[in-house]
């Protein structure tokens, strides 16, 4: 990239008027690419940085126009039990985008596209009039960098924040990035929404694809740098909600008393249906979503520790 060319980042969604990704009303920017492979991921379309083929069986009308323009054989007709259906080979897709130009139902399309800094700034400006509206805790809104893992787009984010003006910035991060990168970006981030997913190195590797040592080390470093932190806790019934994990979270909150609070992100199996659309259903678990009884049980388990836990 020349010094005059704007940096770009692969982004799969920009949500205006977001109320669940930090304080106040926010514009949430979802970056593609993640070094983890959590089996409960809500956004499996963010696993890879590249554009990828999306197919919705529910939206498809079987007109097969996409098969006529697909040059790679990723979309073909097939017979099954007397029906003619669309066969989708996600691995064969070359992300040319021809299919989405002929599908008027959004049944086939590409997930993600490269955005320039200027394009993202334009989206931020759409939401800016709402950022000063106070949230339920009297907090102002702003932008949230999420994904995927935004730390995989550090140069882009630095360029974006250099031009975004006086605005509150949250970053949702899994903590699995080079410590020097966190040192670079931390002064520009008002609040980290920092994931703590699993206790135990072996179990973290099994469920998330990587170990947790770097994540815990980066949390310690950011805390000692004085970063604003909310601890985010994905809880999946029967998977990572053990007494051992709950006790470890309480210990973390005692060790780091200036963490604002910790919030439970209760499992929702919506991620599995999304995984099906991008050919990753074998990577994501499919079990019932957490219910009110699960949440009540988790909050009750924390009571004996006196830990500041909320349901996110």
Nearest CA-CA partner of 15 in 115, 126, 132: 126
pLDDT, residue 1, reads: 52
Written as six digits, the tokens of 234 are 């994905």
The confidence band for 132, taking pLDDT boundaries of 50, 70 and 90, is: confident
Assess whether the previous peptide bond of 172 is cis (omega < 30° from 0): no
Q: Does residue 136 surpass a pLDDT of 80?
A: no
Tokens 């031009």 sit on residue: 163
Alpha-carbon distances, residue 173 vs 34, 148, 250, 269 (angstroms): 10, 8, 20, 21
Q: Which domains does the chain have, with CATH numbers?
A: 8-50+112-311 (3.20.20.70), 52-110 (3.30.70.20)
Q: pLDDT of 179-217, one tens digit each?
A: 999 999 999 999 999 999 999 999 999 999 999 999 999
Gap between the Cα atoms of 213 and 227, Å rounded: 19
pLDDT, residue 306, reads: 86
Phi, psi dihedral angles at 26 (to 5 degrees):
-135, 160
Q: pLDDT of 264-295, one tens digit each?
A: 999 999 999 999 999 999 999 999 999 999 99
Gap between the Cα atoms of 279 and 311, Å rounded: 31
pTM over 0.85: yes
The helix (H) or strand (E) run that includes residue 38 is: none
């Amino acid at each position: 990239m020349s010094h005059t060319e704007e940096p770009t980042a692969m982004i799969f969604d920009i949500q205006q008027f977001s109320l669940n990704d930090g304080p106040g009303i926010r514009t949430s920017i979802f970056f593609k690419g993640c070094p983890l492979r959590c089996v409960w991921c809500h956004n499996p379309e963010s696993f890879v940085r590249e554009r990828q083929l999306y197919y919705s069986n529910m939206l498809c009308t079987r007109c097969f126009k996409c098969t006529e323009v697909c040059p790679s054989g990723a979309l073909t007709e097939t017979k099954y039990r007397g029906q003619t259906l669309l066969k989708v080979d996600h691995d064969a897709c070359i992300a040319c985008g021809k299919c989405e130009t002929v599908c008027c139902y959004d049944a086939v399309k590409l997930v993600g596209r490269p955005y320039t800094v200027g394009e993202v700034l334009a989206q931020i400006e759409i939401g800016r009039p709402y950022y000063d509206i106070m949230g339920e805790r009297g907090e102002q809104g702003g932008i949230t960098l999420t994904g995927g893992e935004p730390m995989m787009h550090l140069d882009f984010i630095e360029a974006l924040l250099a031009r975004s003006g006086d605005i509150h910035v949250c970053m949702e991060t899994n903590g699995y990035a080079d410590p020097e990168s966190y040192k670079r970006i931390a002064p520009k981030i008002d609040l980290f929404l920092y994931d703590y997913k699993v206790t135990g190195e072996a179990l973290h590797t099994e469920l998330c694809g990587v170990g947790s040592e770097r994540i815990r080390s980066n949390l310690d470093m950011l805390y000692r740098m004085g970063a604003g932190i909310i601890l985010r806790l994905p809880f999946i019934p029967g998977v990572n909600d053990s007494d051992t994990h709950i006790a470890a979270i309480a210990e973390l909150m005692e060790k780091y008393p200036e963490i604002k609070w910790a919030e439970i992100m209760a499992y929702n199996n919506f991620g599995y249906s999304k995984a099906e659309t991008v050919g990753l259903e074998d990577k994501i678990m499919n079990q019932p979503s957490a219910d009110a009884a699960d949440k009540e049980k988790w909050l009750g388990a924390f009571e004996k520790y006196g830990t500041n836990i909320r349901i996110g």
